[in-house]
Structure 1
């Protein structure tokens, strides 16, 4: 291989590296650096552009274009796996969820932003600057990324795990041997959904990840039939605030401002009847979390069935009234 060809290969690889990382290509700067003409750099850009065309089998599209504002060539945003708009949306969701401690949040966001060309990164940084500066991490301040990954692998491989868990109802850590079924996120927290080891019924127990003090994956596997596998989406439709419990049907009357908000919150909800903007709704739900949501609606609803839940609501409201008596 001649020295000229070696120089060309090095030059094209350098241009390709700059484009992929979102850096702009200024022809004169590179021409001076490599001691070639600007026309040579332009030919290099055309060769790289042709390479992207061959990858997509699309010879009618320019993947490298000139940005007149920045006076440089950039790899088009449409070629990226995620667009500037998509990355901004993901970043906003991460910030709003408050799922991670501040250090992990910043790390994730910074990596996402680097997927956008340099000439477009400042837009996202400026849009989120105030929200990121005032980001309020949760009280536990735990780093969760490694734990999320390790538990997800245990779920995938059906491995029995042992944990030491900080239960708020007890003073000391409790030890549990469990069969991990799934990992979910709800209202600020990540949860491990599990069965107790060799549990006979199908009662599912959520464990908050930030309360897991120790975690050990065993070599033992547990068996689960495909038809009996845990389905996160179906579980999410039926549980509120990750409070476990038995599956039941509940019926209530609702006359608040937004029936859409009710249907969005309770994914299994069905409207059985409607008259004068008063709705009879039925939903299939797990546990006592539904009671917390029902109470959050104030005097905009009335529980009709089951009678036990109706009585519990009645007693809870009486207790609440008692708190406000002199």
Structure 2
């Protein structure tokens, strides 16, 4: 291998966070120790001329050279494995986007760590199941995020759950992830709403930038972090103070799902508490808890929950008629 090509090759390996052992490199490239030292010196000179923050460091313990990150902390194998476990478990992306994301994150590690990490997640990679919509959404997410930063109004063509296509002019304020999907958080332009609506990104067929909004209190006053503790399943609607009784065994699930809460009374096996939540989403979540959670007030919400359970009971009380 020509000297210049060899130096470039070594430099690329260092950029990929590989640790270069002196003796191994000498053997691999069939060079002598003086040539190796000269290659290392040339790489240091390149870094200096580029005014790079990275620095070529020699670790005396394992006799390896590696690139520092200019004082920034490197990802460890433990960090990256945790990130990838969460990412793969989310099933948030179509197959191609997920595999590309995994490869990009794995590349932050040295070569040996990348190999070890692959074996830790190999089964999940090979058996990854993408969401049913199967759509690539990363580019769309990035385009919408740019509109949020630039405070631009956009027009979206959106397909609702029932298949109906609608057109909406909206003021986008955030993009969030919950329950397997990414959502656009946006205020509808034609109406005054205290809270925004949620649009699943995979159901957005197209977007069109309509221009800058200018100074608008929505961008200065709205904070999704203030709203998030009261949101379940990305349903907004009317914000309610809800009184409920739950079994002590279900208390953790309640307060993790609805962080805005106040415990009123504790009994032997149950807890009375108040939570602040958006009614529609809370009903959908509470229904999944069965007898572990009981809505006590407001009465209208309790009645809606009772009606929901009655309809479900009627379905299951009927005999199944096979055709």
Structure 1 distance, partners of 2:54, 2:65, is 22
SS at match of 1:94: helix
Q: CA deviation at 1:224?
A: 2.4
2:14 corresponding residue in structure 1: 19
TM-score by length of 2: 0.84
- 1:65 corresponds in structure 2 to 59
In 2, Cα distance between equivalents of 1:270 and 1:192 = 30
CA gap 1:252/1:116 in 2 versus in 1, 3 angstroms: same
Alignment counterpart, residue 145 of structure 1, candidates 138, 145, 148: 138
* Residues 256 and 301, structure 1, Cα contact 8 Å, conserved in 2: no
- Count of residue correspondences: 312
Q: Residues of 2 paired with 1:101 and 1:89: CA distance?
A: 20
The one of 260, 281, 287 aligned to 1:289: 281
- Per the alignment, residue 205 of structure 1 pairs with 197
- How is 1:8-157 mapped onto 2 (pairs within 5 angstroms)? 15-27=10-22, 30-31=25-26, 37-39=32-34, 41-42=36-37, 45=40, 63-65=57-59, 73-75=65-67, 81-157=74-150
What SS does structure 2 have at the residue aligned with 1:121? helix
Counterpart position of 1:3: none
* Residues 35 and 123 of structure 1, relative CA distance in 2, 3 Å threshold: closer
Deviation at 1:132, TM superposition (A): 1.1
Give the alignment of 1:231-250 within 5 angstroms.
231-250=223-242
Matched-pair contact (CA < 8 Å) for 1:160–1:222: no
Identify if the C-alpha distance between structure 1 residues 10 and 103 changes in structure 2 by more than 3 Å, giving closer, same or farther: closer
| Structure 2: distance between partners of 1:274 and 1:47 | 71
Asked if the contact 2:155/2:170 (under 8 Å) is kept, the reply is yes
Q: CA 1:219–1:55 in 2, change beyond 3 Å: closer, same or farther?
A: closer
SS in 1 for 2:135: coil
1:167 matched to 2:160? The reply is yes
Of 246, 252, 259, the residue aligned with 1:254 is 246
- Structure 1's unaligned 5+ residue stretches are 1-6
Q: Any stretches of 5+ residues in structure 2 without a counterpart?
A: 319-323
**CA distance in 1 between partners of 2:125 and 2:61 (Å):** 29
User: What secondary structure is seen at the aligned counterpart in 1 of 2:317?
Assistant: coil
Paired residues of 1:206 and 1:242 also in contact (CA < 8 A): yes
> Aligned partners of 1:168, 1:141: CA distance in 2, in Å?
16
Go from structure 1 to structure 2 and tell me whether the alpha carbon gap of 1:32 and 1:114 turns closer, same or farther (over 3 Å shift).
same
Answer with 280-289 or 217-226: which moved more: 217-226
Counterpart pick for 1:325 among 314, 317, 321: 317
Residue equivalent to 2:264:
272
SS in 1 for 2:291: coil
Sort the Cα spacing of 1:199 and 1:20 in 2 relative to 1 into closer, same or farther, 3 A. Answer: same
- Map of 2:170 onto structure 1: 178
The TM-score, its normalising length taken from structure 1, stands at 0.83
Aligned-partner Cα distance in 2 for 1:283–1:191: 24
Structure 1 CA distance for aligned equivalents of residues 317 and 24 of structure 2: 78
The CA RMSD measured in Å over matched residues stands at 3.3
Q: Could you tell me how far apart the structure 1 residues matched to 2:8 and 2:114 are?
A: 23
Contact 1:193 1:207 in 2 (8 A): yes
**Distance (whole Å) between structure 2 residues aligned to residue 124 and residue 153 of structure 1:** 33
Contact 1:182 1:230 in 2 (8 A): no
